[in-house]
Amino acid sequence: MASGATSRSEDEESLAGQKRGSAQASGAIPKRRSSSRFIKRKKFDDELVESSLAKSSSRAKGAGGVEPGRCSGSEPSSSEKKKVSKSVSAPIAPSPVPTPGLAKRMKKSKQPLQVTKDLGRWKPADDLLLINAVLQTNDLTSVHLGVKFSCRFNLREIQERWLACQAMRQLHPEAIAAIQSKVLFSKAEEQLLNKTSQPTLDTFQELLHKHPDVFYPSRTAKALQLHWQLMKQYYLLDDQTVQPLPKGDQVLNFSDAEDMLDDSKLKDVRDEVLEHELTVADRRQKREIRQLEQELHKWQVLVDSITGMSSPDFDSQTLAVLRGRMVRYLMRSREITLGRATKDNQIDVDLALEGPAWKISRKQGVIKLKNNGDFFIANEGRRPIYIDGRPVLGGNKWKLNNNSVVEIASLRFVFLINQDLIALIKAEAAKLAQQ
């Protein structure tokens, strides 16, 4: 039987070979059988992004009339031939003209959705933080509840990632130290911190030296102190008694809670040295205020900032105005001094308020009003003063007219005279001369 079966299979192979030879001689290629079923499987995040991009590109190619994924040498199947024949036999209907509103909707629908690449991905920093937290707590549930990763992972993702941490070895040492400082405290560490009462940094340092096998290697005394303060804030220490909150009518209001406080414990310790220093400083400030009040009547020049608007009219006390680009100096007395103010030298018009005045002398000049109503400026500095373009050297003086331009070391001012007040002064001077 076996020999008969083998001879029959050999006959079939020889017949198949003869058919192939005749087909090749005639030029016909045998049809290849293939399944058209699509096997579905779950896609990962990266494949979702790639498939969305591939769909958009396939639509663009399909619009050009070429089907993506088909080789130039392959022949169309019988079903595709039927589709092509139907499309050729059917009359071509004119395409409707889309309305502008419909075209906008189609454009919006064809735009691919933007997917953030880093969303839901594990980073090397997350891997290292996961390992340190699990080694400390030995509980993935507590790690999921207590550790804050770069993304919000669920418990299943954390469990799947626990054994897949390879990129953390390439982290920088500083980044590793920063991550290790965020590791959760174990129960053994918190029990040791519970036993300390009113500790200091030295106390925590001694704990680290006595129990190196309990505390994490990257712990410092400052980190222990911060965690102890956090435990004290939430009443997690053994020596703290948590008072239950009252309910219903027993809830205290603010005034009742204030009455329960002991005012003697709230008083600060009296510091005699600090009180003496405060008294001396208060006495000094009062003396300065008294001196300023006495010197109010001696002030000769007022400074007014320029806002770009038209200058206000002269008041009854301003004789003239020295107007600059930034500020205005109001002349209230018959004689004022110009220059640069320092700690040891106080003057009436500080030209440093207008601009750079490091080239100006501390006492550059003096402006005087004579009895006949004329203003003169005297140069007492090293650099010359230009009045309407004419230089006035040191030791000389020049008459100032209304709207005269005064230039001192690249700072320009316009000298404006209160004509009404000067006329009254001239009239009073004439009456005195007649008497």
Question: For the chain, how many residues are written?
Answer: 435
Distance from C-alpha of 325 to C-alpha of 328, rounded to nearest angstrom: 8
- Collapsing DSSP states into helix, strand and coil, what is residue 113? coil
Least confident of 98-112, 162-176, 281-295: 98-112
| Contact between residue 334 and residue 354 where contact means Cβ atoms under 8 Å apart | no
| Contact between residue 367 and residue 335 where contact means Cβ atoms under 8 Å apart | yes
- pLDDT given for residue 71 in this prediction: 40
DSSP 71: -
- Whether the per-residue pLDDT at 378 is higher than 90: the answer is yes
Q: State the average pLDDT over residues 22-39.
A: 59
Least confident of 2-6, 46-50, 393-397, 398-402: 2-6
- Whether the per-residue pLDDT at 348 is higher than 80: the answer is yes
Q: Using pLDDT thresholds of 50, 70 and 90, give the confidence band for residue 284.
A: very high
- Whether the per-residue pLDDT at 308 is higher than 60: the answer is no
Place of tokens 């809670």: 257
- pLDDT given for residue 21 in this prediction: 56
Distance from C-alpha of 208 to C-alpha of 230, rounded to nearest angstrom: 19
Q: Provide DSSP, 192-209.
A: HHHT-SS--HHHHHHHHH
Least confident of 44-58, 91-105, 407-421: 91-105
Topology of the domain covering 299-434: Tumour Suppressor Smad4 (2.60.200)
Q: 413 pairs with which residues across the strands?
A: 406
Amino acid at the residue 32: R
- pLDDT given for residue 281 in this prediction: 94
Structural tokens at position 122: 């594990």
Q: Using pLDDT thresholds of 50, 70 and 90, give the confidence band for residue 271.
A: confident
pLDDT tens string 205-254: 999 999 999 999 889 999 999 999 998 888 888 877 655 555 556 666 77
From the list 74, 82, 68, the residue with the least C-alpha distance to 29 is 74
- Whether the per-residue pLDDT at 318 is higher than 70: the answer is yes
- Whether the per-residue pLDDT at 97 is higher than 60: the answer is no
Quick check: pTM over 0.85?
no
Amino acid at the residue 50: E
Higher model confidence: residue 243 or residue 117?
243
- pLDDT given for residue 173 in this prediction: 85
Percent of the chain with pLDDT over 70: 63
Q: State the average pLDDT over residues 368-378.
A: 89
pLDDT tens string 127-162: 888 888 888 888 889 988 989 888 889 998 888 888
- Whether the per-residue pLDDT at 79 is higher than 80: the answer is no
